[in-house]
Amino acid sequence: MNKPIYKNAKYNIEDRVNDLLSRMTLEEKVMQLCSELPSNFIFNGEIDYTKLKSFGKNGYGRITQYSLVGLVSPQKIVKTSNSIQKFFIEETRLGIPIILQSESLVGYPGKEGTIFPSMLNLAATWEPSLVKKMAEIIGEECHAVGINTVMSPVVDISRDLRWGRCYETFGEDVYLTTQMGINYVKGIQSKNVSCIAKHFLGYAETQGGLNTAVTRLNKKELYEVFATPFEAMDKIANLDGMMASYSEIDGLPVGCNKEIIHDLLRKTMGFKGLLTSDGAAIWKIYDYFKIAQTYAEAGLLAKKAGLDTEIPVSGTYRHLTDFVKNNKLNEHIIDESVKRVLTIKFKLGLFEKPYIEEKNIFNQLTNNTKKKFSEQIAENSIVLLSNKEHILPITSNCTIGLIGPHANSKRYPISGYSYPAYIEMVQALKNKSNKDISFNGVIDEENKMQDSQSFNSMYNIFQNTDWNYLNNTNTIMQNIQATTLKEELETFYKLNYSMGCDITNTNFDDIENAYKIAQESDIIILTVGGNCGWVNVTIGEGKDRCTLDLPGLQQKLLSKLQMANKHIILIMYGTIYNISSTKNIKAILYAGLPGPYSGKAIANIIKGNANPSGKLPFTIPRSVGQIPIYYNHKVGSGYHSIGDKAMSTIFSGGYIDGIYSPLYPFGFGLSYTSFLISDINIKNKIIKLGDDIKLSCKIKNTGSFAGSEVVQIYYYFKEAHVIRPNKQLIAFQKITLKSNECKTILFTINTKQLGYYNEEMQFVIEPGMANLMIGTSSEDIIYQTNIQLIGNPLNIIGNRTYSSQNKII
């Protein structure tokens, strides 16, 4: 008997999808748009097949947050993956395999998964190749345990440091974010794992820096800035899916906003892939935004607007059949979404190879080489913001007073959405301390009274014996071989140590002890900042701020140590914090969330075994009152519009109570060595629209350390009839040079990178004069010149270029 077309790999994906769709009942179609949590059918470590059959008898779309099954054992998650697939292939009528979906922000978040620095740290490296290699590792490890879809990367343009999820992003710039996002998707999807990029659209640009609040953006910016990374990942890396943002745009949540989904995403951008809800986002349409009278109506609004699937539990999408039967929803809308789901399943080869090899699983997960690579990323991401009197590196024989909450912590330098963060979440759920959890979907799912199983019951997945491991944080951190800064420094220096204070507590007892240690030491290294995750943290989802003050007593600790009149090296973790005084602070390192192996990475920089090479992927304000502040502000609306001195008119000027320029600009970062950029050559300063801008420069390491510099190219179009940003990053190249070494960088920048909406709302490149700038940060511009673009205007919608082509010779 011949195989049906959908089971025959000789046919193309479109034919297989159409054949399978033609065989499906309405109920089977709707189930492909639905999602469940593993806690809905896994109890005490075992699959409850009665529960599985109760929701999966007609097939099913996906299981999400699936990595939870692997918190204790990689063998367990592999075995469970195969058992789940076997059920759907052998026990359902059409044998459609299921998507097993997880987060993967900084690695496969299960036992034996490699943990990497935060995305913001990745952005600070300015090395897209590192992102691709990291993503390949994440993809390999996810695939090895059966996870075939990951909800990453986060490519929100993040311009407000008050927002608690900045660490998940690649920063404030559209071009840098685009390059990082493209490489992340290429890396993951090369390992037969699908990406769902998030959050479409404008999620980070919310009122007051508050999570899920209104996004106030115009149509031009929505596409030019915020949609560009998504479009680029689709066009260049064949992105499989996107996640709709929680937030509101122009009076509607994105999940039921037809103008955003249909007009912008599908029509303008031409995206043919999957669009899923965020966790419990449809519930928010009803309960949070209150624009539907019932949860079921919220689902209908979302489906009619074009939202394909609902996660993490499909409390309303599983009832879409009722709306079709009652003539409130056209079955054609269901069909279009089912096609997108099935296309991904065929693309992943799940119909041919649904099962995972169970033997030798450890060989496919983390190892020392991968951990070393994570350390390398951490090292390359550290940004040296200040180094007065060249106090760093510390090479002399001196006594260091190491102080601060991060100095001897293995957990605090690790990002949220990580293996340790998930363990903290399930611990909190088990201990019924839900009020501490800032993960939106946890609380939202708990509020759905009609769902007896939700995030709130995730801890039920585990056997009682599993908690012997899950409750032992010290063992977990030892198993991933994390080391602290204290452990790494005390092997090289004479060290005096004091915590001084914890991140958020209000206990003054150790501050005096820290002061005594400072007095007894030659140099103070002070670690300050926040921590990240969902439980008892200062940064994360739902952990937004209205100040940039250091948490807890850390400012008081710093002020006390400044009284000791010793040189201070400040290391800032988490995000950016303002400090009230820089007295005695001779050096500042921005560490961010550099991961479990950052102790050695930072110690190498302090010792001079490594040269800091990170560059800021965001602008650092002087105070919270400057927010939002970003380098590529529009002409007339930012600090470059004011100039070095306030304008003399009564209508314009800077702040009357502070400086209006940033503390540190986008792209900034110091080195232990120095560089000279010379011999800048623009091949042709008159360029036809659609052709390439070609330029070259020499760069020489003129110092005594080997080191890396990032050459950055910025652009401003002078003759638009709409207001444009004062400058935009359009190319960059990081280069590593030995002392006295010199190389040439060739940049090729196609003019189709430079498009914008004109006054007629046409996305074009137009003739006119432009300013080309070359520098080492957005403010450190060493060369600029005018170029002339000629020819007829070109509408480049659907024909854009997203990346420059660079070559080092």
Q: List beta partners, residue 225.
A: none
Distance of alpha carbon 202 from alpha carbon 157, whole angstroms: 7
CA angle 22, 26, 31 (to 5 degrees): 105
pLDDT confidence band for 442 (50 / 70 / 90) = low
Rounded CA-CA distance 395/608 in Å is: 7
Give the separation between CA 555 and CA 558, rounded to whole angstroms: 5
Find out whether 38 and 66 touch, Cβ atoms under 8 Å.
yes
Distance CA 552, CA 506 (A): 6
CB-based contacts of 246, cutoff 8 Å, min separation 6: 199, 203, 211, 212, 253, 254, 255, 278, 281, 284, 440
The answer to which of 80-89, 356-365, 454-463, 741-750 has the lowest mean pLDDT is 454-463
- Model pLDDT for residues 91-120, shown as the tens digit of each residue: 999 999 999 999 999 999 999 999 999 999
Nearest partner of 533 among 34, 33, 115, judged by Cα: 115
Q: In 3-state terms, what secondary structure has residue 507?
A: coil
CA distance 697 to 709: 13
Helix (H) or strand (E) holding 184: helix 174-189
Task: Indicate the pLDDT class of residue 68, thresholds 50, 70 and 90.
Answer: very high
What residues form DSSP beta bridges with 206? 215
Q: Which residues pair with 494 in a beta bridge?
A: 399
pLDDT at residue 601 tops 90: yes
3-state secondary structure of 663: coil
pLDDT on residue 443: 55
pLDDT of residue 655: 84
Helices 128-145 & 174-189, crossing angle to 10 degrees? 30
**Is the pLDDT assigned to residue 438 strictly greater than 90?**
no
Which residues lie below 8 Å from residue 377, measured CB to CB, with a gap of 6+? Answer: 116, 117, 121, 122, 125, 130, 134, 594, 595
Residue 522 has pLDDT above 90, yes or no: yes
The CATH superfamily assigned to 675-808 is: Immunoglobulins (2.60.40.10)
Q: One-letter amino acid identity for 253?
A: P
The DSSP code for 46 is: E
Q: Where are the alpha helices (DSSP H) in 619-743?
A: 639-642
pLDDT tens column, 685-724: 999 999 999 999 999 999 999 999 999 999 999 999 999 9
Percent of residues, the chain, with pLDDT higher than 90: 88
d(CA 548, CA 531) in angstroms, rounded, equals 14
Query: Right CATH number for 379-607 from 3.40.50.1700, 3.20.20.70, 3.10.450.50, 3.40.50.11540?
Result: 3.40.50.1700
Answer yes or no: are the C-beta atoms of 684 and 694 closer than 8 Å: yes
Asked if pLDDT for residue 266 goes beyond 70, the answer is yes
Q: Look over the chain and give the mean of its residue pLDDT values, rounded to a whole number.
A: 94
Beta-strand runs (E) in 286-326: none
Of 141, 136, 196, which Cα lies nearest the Cα of 344? 196
pLDDT tens for 486-515 read: 999 999 999 999 999 999 987 788 999 999
3-state secondary structure 512-570: HHHHHHHHCCCEEEEEEECCECCECCCEECCECCCCCECCCCHHHHHHHHHCCCCEEEE
The DSSP output letter for 619 is: P
Strands 585-592 and 567-573: parallel
One-letter-per-residue 3-state SS of 368-421: HHHHHHHHHHHHHHCEEEEEHHHCCCCCCCCEEEEECCCCCCCCCCCCCCCHHH
Confidence of residue 430 (pLDDT cuts 50, 70, 90): confident
pLDDT, tens digit, for every residue of 723-738?
999 999 999 999 999 9
Look at residue 799 and tell me whether its pLDDT is greater than 50.
yes
Residue with tokens 């470059």, as numbered in its chain:
640
Pairing of β 567-573 and β 523-529: parallel
Which residue ranges make up each domain of the chain? 25-361, 379-607, 675-808
Q: Which residues contact 582 (CB under 8 A, 6 or more apart)?
A: none
Burial of 391 by CB count in 10 Å (0-12 exposed, 13-18 middle, 19+ buried)?
A: middle
Rounded to a whole number of angstroms, the distance between the first and last alpha carbons of the chain is 61
Give the lowest-confidence range in 76-85, 227-236, 450-459, 546-555. Answer: 450-459
Q: Which of 315, 259, 243 is nearest to 282 (CA)?
A: 315
Task: Note the pLDDT tens digit of each residue in 553-598.
Answer: 999 999 999 999 999 999 999 999 999 899 999 999 999 999 999 9
Neighbouring CB atoms inside 10 A of 652's CB total 11
Task: Decide: residue 793, CB within 10 A, 0-12 exposed, 13-18 middle, 19+ buried.
Answer: middle
- pLDDT at residue 450 in the model: 47
Distances 238 to 178, 265, 482, 801 between C-alpha atoms, Å: 14, 15, 35, 15
How confident is the model at residue 485, as a pLDDT?
A: 98
The C-alpha atoms of residue 674 and residue 28 are separated, in whole angstroms, by 64
Which of 323, 251, 315, 319 shows the shortest CA–CA distance to 277? 315
Cα–Cα dist 585/569, whole Å: 6
Under CATH, which number does the domain 25-361 receive? 3.20.20.300
Strands 742-750 and 805-808: antiparallel
Q: What is the SS3 assignment for 71?
A: coil
Tokens of 635: 């002409």
- Using alpha carbons, select from 756, 696, 761 the residue that is nearest to residue 725: 756
Q: Which of 711, 732, 717 is nearest to 803 (CA)?
A: 732
State the residue for tokens 């996004």: 215
pTM greater than the 0.85 cutoff: yes
Nearest-angstrom CA–CA distance, 40 and 52: 8
Side chain identity at residue 547, one-letter code: T
Helices (H) and strands (E) in the chain, counts: 24, 30
Q: Name the phi and psi angles at 180, rounded to 5.
A: -70, -45
- Among 667, 529, 665, 549, smallest CA distance to 592 is for 529
What is the maximum alpha-carbon separation in the chain? 87
Q: Is residue 646 predicted with pLDDT exceeding 50? A: no
- What are the tokens at 680? 């800048």
CA distance to 7, 8, 379, per residue, from 2 (Å): 10, 9, 57
For Cα atoms 442, 592, 170, give the angle at the middle one, nearest 5 degrees.
75
- Between the CA of residue 161 and those of 85, 427, 504, 547, what are the distances in Å? 42, 29, 19, 10
The answer to whether the CB of 571 falls within 8 A of the CB of 579 is: no
Pairing state between β 252-253 and 383-387: unpaired
